[in-house]
Chain A
């Protein structure tokens, strides 16, 4: 298992990760039990959410975490894609959003668009896998929080450019 951050391989559209070393990840239950105590500390905190734990459960607390890890118990469980988008776009999470669990090369580019900025991937060639995965797709039809120009936007920008000569 290797942890790779998007900023290692591209210019990241997500807030940059300023973590030094490892941040221990609390479960949601642990966070709930120790919330008041932990909110008073300054140490960087991490949280891990299971796939059935939605972003709204921590809506008020997102800014407190340096890392939020979302679990993919199987790559077929796609709930974390929505959780990721809500954390970034609805609740303004600015820390490292990490994909853990069954994280496979072929889902990395979709995960990245949804807000994930770090990935725990099998094997030593994680950075290479991520670089290749992110380079594979040049155009997307859908808007997400990474603010990447959509196909519609690119298309009309091109036309405007051509019109200007």
Chain B
């Protein structure tokens, strides 16, 4: 993991001091709310329904045990004993006080964390996939570049007042586990014909009111030019992005309105001026950053651990957990252990302070002190020896963290919704809870197979419903909570926006509606087809007919 040097630390410490001054000037009335709002947003502080909400940055989803212990500590001392992991790999606290936030930020700074740019019209947390550095199919470790982009984007003096928020995601493998095609900029690591590493650059993806899949504006960018190319894109956007209408201000609208080719030409023209200037990172600095992401000191093991294999045969519950939650690791004898934060009937993505401490302890003991956060609101222990998996699983189970449902229908992605969020039209957590209870039977879940269910309380789509195999969107119909269902969305390399299946459905009919859709799939699927495969083969009509004819 990256570690701050004294300069990185000074950047964060200075910003904490600056924010402390800004809070004082707000509380004294010297700064109005209108003047203060962008400043607090740039430090991740929202004002929500009940209270302020602080969104802590977890850079590209990596955490150390010390950091996770600190997040637990802050939850206890400054909040109500829990936190919520988001679809951008960040953590949200729902109850901090404004007057406490400078102290909270100072606590975060003491473990090399912050809440910088997790909100506001600036470049947000750079995200990447949760298996970076440990997946077998990786071309290069995207965390190296995520860290480079993180530093370059932190308090960028030119790009702090963009037309709108800006989100960058990277993936290190052809398999896209970071949803890069629905980000403002998506970067896919690739080889060129001669084996050099570089990036496919995809621009203009996004969800929200006008969901769009990003367009490739450059098939291959040699990696030394990453920052100057990004700067060119940002400069074109900063100058020409719309500022007249906040719903038309994202870069996806600009790309759509001028056309991807014209946009690409503008970027290339700007880039010609600035490539190979001091904007690009010196090779020595890249090498220094790369060294932080070297593999940990794995034990040299040959083949599968016999104890692990035996436990799988003996203990069915363990075997089921391994089946869904454990992924192959590039290092022989090791595994990637996924921790589901979707236990039956509880809010998806939440963890108590105690649970955070347990996970931090397990990481310390079994995963070289490292944890990952996924954009599907789960956690990962990226380096667990197979021999240790059983002990890890037992500990997780004891603390309500043993749900064996990664990728299954009860692994629901949901935003906080109307229970917390000032933007929401409808509640999403109770919807998730009901669905999770209805589909609790694990055998049935396995029969249904991979099924990405995503719930958003409003069109801002923080719950990523557009890219759910089944997406649920809360809408406000005359003060009542109604939900629109979309089908066939996908966040991977076959990214697609889901199709609306019909008129919105009342909350008390929603669980049955999902049941109906799932039954249609089971009735019509071919052998081995996942839900998304069946949908791609048959399209919307059979699902629509069965759902709305029955009503």
- Given A82-B235, A141-B152: A152 and B281 within 8 A (CB)? yes
Interface of A is mostly: helix
Does residue A81 face the partner (Cβ distance < 8 Å to B)? yes
Report whether A78 and B7 are in contact in the complex, using a CB–CB cutoff of 8 Å: no
Report whether A75 and B161 are in contact in the complex, using a CB–CB cutoff of 8 Å: yes
Report whether A138 and B22 are in contact in the complex, using a CB–CB cutoff of 8 Å: no
Report whether A82 and B157 are in contact in the complex, using a CB–CB cutoff of 8 Å: no
Task: Report which of A54, A140, A155 forms a contact with B285, defined as CB distance below 8 A.
Answer: A155
Q: How far is the CA of A137 from the CA of B285 in the complex (A)?
A: 22
Residues of chain B at interface, number, CB under 8 A: 38
Does residue A77 face the partner (Cβ distance < 8 Å to B)? yes
- Given A137-B18, A141-B155: A151 and B239 within 8 A (CB)? no
- Given A154-B7, A155-B7: A76 and B238 within 8 A (CB)? no
Report whether B7 and A54 are in contact in the complex, using a CB–CB cutoff of 8 Å: no
Report whether A82 and B11 are in contact in the complex, using a CB–CB cutoff of 8 Å: no
Report whether A78 and B160 are in contact in the complex, using a CB–CB cutoff of 8 Å: yes
Give residues of chain A (48-106) contacting chain B, Cβ–Cβ below 8 Å: 54, 75-79, 81-83, 85, 90, 104, 106
Task: Report which of B11, B156, B159 forms a contact with A139, defined as CB distance below 8 A.
Answer: B11
Question: A121: shortest Cβ distance to chain B, in Å?
Answer: 13
A110: chain B residues at CB < 8 Å are 155, 157-158, 160
Report whether A156 and B282 are in contact in the complex, using a CB–CB cutoff of 8 Å: yes
Does residue B28 face the partner (Cβ distance < 8 Å to A)? no
Chain B residue at smallest Cβ distance from A51: B243
A30: chain B residues at CB < 8 Å are none
Give residues of chain B (214-228) contacting chain A, Cβ–Cβ below 8 Å: none
Does residue B512 face the partner (Cβ distance < 8 Å to A)? no
Stretch from B134-142, B272-280, B397-405 that touches the partner: B272-280
- Given A82-B238, A138-B10: A76 and B285 within 8 A (CB)? no
Report whether A151 and B162 are in contact in the complex, using a CB–CB cutoff of 8 Å: no
Stretch from A3-11, A16-24, A142-150 that touches the partner: A142-150
Could you mark each residue 410-437 of chain B with 1 if its beta carbon is under 8 Å from any beta carbon of chain A, else 0?
0000000000000000000000000000
Report whether B239 and A82 are in contact in the complex, using a CB–CB cutoff of 8 Å: yes
Could you mark each residue 150-177 of chain B with 1 if its beta carbon is under 8 Å from any beta carbon of chain A, else 0?
0110111111111000000000000000
A114: chain B residues at CB < 8 Å are 157-158
Report whether B155 and A81 are in contact in the complex, using a CB–CB cutoff of 8 Å: no
Report whether A151 and B235 are in contact in the complex, using a CB–CB cutoff of 8 Å: no
Q: How far is the CA of A137 from the CA of B157 in the complex (A)?
A: 11
Report whether A78 and B14 are in contact in the complex, using a CB–CB cutoff of 8 Å: no
Task: Report which of A79, A111, A137, A156 forms a contact with B238, defined as CB distance below 8 A.
Answer: A79
Q: How far is the CA of A151 from the CA of B156 in the complex (A)?
A: 12
Report whether A77 and B8 are in contact in the complex, using a CB–CB cutoff of 8 Å: no
Does residue B5 face the partner (Cβ distance < 8 Å to A)? yes
- Given A142-B156, A152-B282, A152-B285: A78 and B35 within 8 A (CB)? no
Q: How far is the CA of A142 from the CA of B15 in the complex (A)?
A: 16
Does residue B284 face the partner (Cβ distance < 8 Å to A)? yes
Interface centre among A111, A136, A143 (most CB of B within 10 A): A143
Report whether B155 and A140 are in contact in the complex, using a CB–CB cutoff of 8 Å: yes
- Given A85-B158, A110-B160: A151 and B8 within 8 A (CB)? yes
Could you mark each residue 110-128 of chain A with 1 if its beta carbon is under 8 Å from any beta carbon of chain B, else 0?
1101100000000000000
Does residue B260 face the partner (Cβ distance < 8 Å to A)? no
Does residue B516 face the partner (Cβ distance < 8 Å to A)? no
Could you mark each residue 370-406 of chain B with 1 if its beta carbon is under 8 Å from any beta carbon of chain A, else 0?
0000000000000000000000000000000000000
Give residues of chain B (526-550) contacting chain A, Cβ–Cβ below 8 Å: none
A154: chain B residues at CB < 8 Å are 7
A78: chain B residues at CB < 8 Å are 121, 158-162, 238
Chain B residue at smallest Cβ distance from A147: B278
Q: Which chain A residues have a beta carbon within 8 Å of chain B's beta carbons?
A: 54, 75-79, 81-83, 85, 90, 104, 106-107, 109-111, 113-114, 136-144, 150-152, 154-156
What 8 pairs between A and B have smallest CB-CB spacing? A78-B161, A110-B157, A113-B157, A143-B278, A152-B285, A81-B158, A141-B151, A82-B238
A-B contact pairs, 11 of them (CB 8 A): A75-B161, A76-B121, A81-B161, A114-B157, A136-B18, A138-B14, A141-B155, A142-B158, A142-B279, A144-B157, A144-B158
Q: Which chain B residues have a beta carbon within 8 Å of chain A's beta carbons?
A: 5, 7-8, 10-11, 14-15, 17-18, 22, 35, 38-39, 121, 151-152, 154-162, 235, 238-239, 243, 273, 277-279, 281-282, 284-285, 288
| Given A77-B161, A110-B155, A139-B11, 9 more pairs with CB closer than 8 A | A81-B157, A104-B35, A141-B151, A142-B156, A143-B277, A143-B278, A151-B7, A155-B7, A155-B285
